[in-house]
Structures are given as structure tokens and as C-alpha cells.
Amino acid sequence: MKAWDAANPGPFVVSHPCPACDGRGTLIERLCSACHGTGVGRFYHGTKADLEPGDLIAPGHSPNFGKRERKTTYVYLTGTLDAATWGAELSLGEGPGRIYMVEPTGPIGDDPDLTDKKFPGNPTKSYRSLEPLRVTREVTDWQGHSPEELEAMKDGIERAERLGIEPIDD
Ligand SMILES: [Zn+2]
């Protein structure tokens, strides 16, 4: 379960569909290799970390949700600015949330936290990888959620944590 999944936000819109496959994820009888079969032309990662273009974002950090002493196995990326916005706002750390455009350096797969029965398919276009993500540039023109939305989301996360819900990261 992703942190921001708790309050079921949305809608999630892919900002830049993959130009090679027109956002479909597939070409004739094969997956589109340009976008790893996702249909996404621009991937985002929301965080509190201050990064430069060329930096790598690797797994092995404390999760933003659930037991903090765990270390994440995967890094997470998304094709929607809205999902990245929740990531930036809810991630651990000091300072302002930041959103970066990133490129996967290895294979990516659907984020299982967001592809369950609650979210048939992968509507939030959320993915994960065992390999680092490379930062290509920071996105600065994004709009944060309102204090009320953020509060509602944090309440939902606290409820989920009290229920002992842990993120899927293995
Ligand atoms: Zn494509």
C-alpha cells in the first residue's frame, strides 16, 4: 500500500504519453521498448531529497510508510504528476517536497500496491525497479495539495498504520 493510496486520491493523468506507441504501451504484437510497455513518455519521482541531474536514486532507504526500520528493496516511479506530488509531499525528510523527471536504468514493473482489486489495472501509472533511477531534471511547476487534502491523507495513513498495513516491497 502506497502512503497516498490510503485516501484514494485521483484522478491520475499521464502528463506525457510515450510518443513511440502513442501511450498504448504496445506496438504491433510486442511491448513498446521505448516506454517499457507502460505508455508513459515521462516518468516522475517525488521525494524530499535535493538532487541534481545525473544523480541516481537507489533503493535501500527507509519506507515512507509502515515500519521505518525496514529498508526498501525497490525504487518507485510514476507517469502521473499527481502520484509524484503525493510522493513529494508525504516522503520522509526535512525541507520542501521535490519532483524529478527520472529515467529507469533497468527493468521496471507495476507497483503491486497500486494494481490490486481496489485499482484494477494500473490507473496511477505507478512502477518500481530494483535498479536506480537517473535524475534528468527537477520539475518546478507542480501544484501541491491543499492543507485539507494533505491532512485527510495523513489521517488515512495513520489509520492504515494503526491497522498494521505494510507496504508491499518484496
Ligand atoms: Zn511506448
Q: pLDDT tens digits, residue range 109-129? A: 988 877 665 567 788 899 999
Q: How confident is the model at residue 7 (pLDDT cuts 50, 70, 90)?
A: low
**What separation in Å is there between the alpha carbon of 17 and the centre of ligand 1?**
8
Q: What does the DSSP assignment read for 90-142?
A: HSSSSS--EEEEEEESS--EE-GGGSSTTSSS-TT-EEEESSPEEEEEEE---
Which pLDDT score, from 0 to 100, does residue 5 have? 57
Does residue 8 carry a pLDDT above 60? no
Question: Whose CA is closest to 42, among 1, 83, 4, 71?
Answer: 83
**What separation in Å is there between the alpha carbon of 133 and the centre of ligand 1?**
18
What is the sign of the dihedral through the CA atoms of 156, 159, 165 and 170? positive
Instruction: Identify the helix (H) or strand (E) that includes residue 150.
Output: helix 147-162
Which pLDDT score, from 0 to 100, does residue 95 have? 85
> What residue type is 141 in one-letter code?
D
Mean pLDDT of the chain: 86
Q: Specify which of 70-74, 83-87, 120-124 reaches the highest per-range mean pLDDT.
A: 83-87
Helices 81-90 and 147-162: angle between axes, nearest 10 degrees: 70
DSSP helix/strand/coil, 144: coil
Q: How confident is the model at residue 33 (pLDDT cuts 50, 70, 90)?
A: very high
Which pLDDT score, from 0 to 100, does residue 1 have? 47
**What separation in Å is there between the alpha carbon of 146 and the centre of ligand 1?**
33
**What separation in Å is there between the alpha carbon of 20 and the centre of ligand 1?**
5
Residues near ion ligand 1 (Cβ under 5 Å): 18, 20-21, 32, 34-35
**What separation in Å is there between the alpha carbon of 31 and the centre of ligand 1?**
8
**Cα separation of 128 and 109, whole Å?**
6
Beta pairing class for 133-139 and 56-57: antiparallel
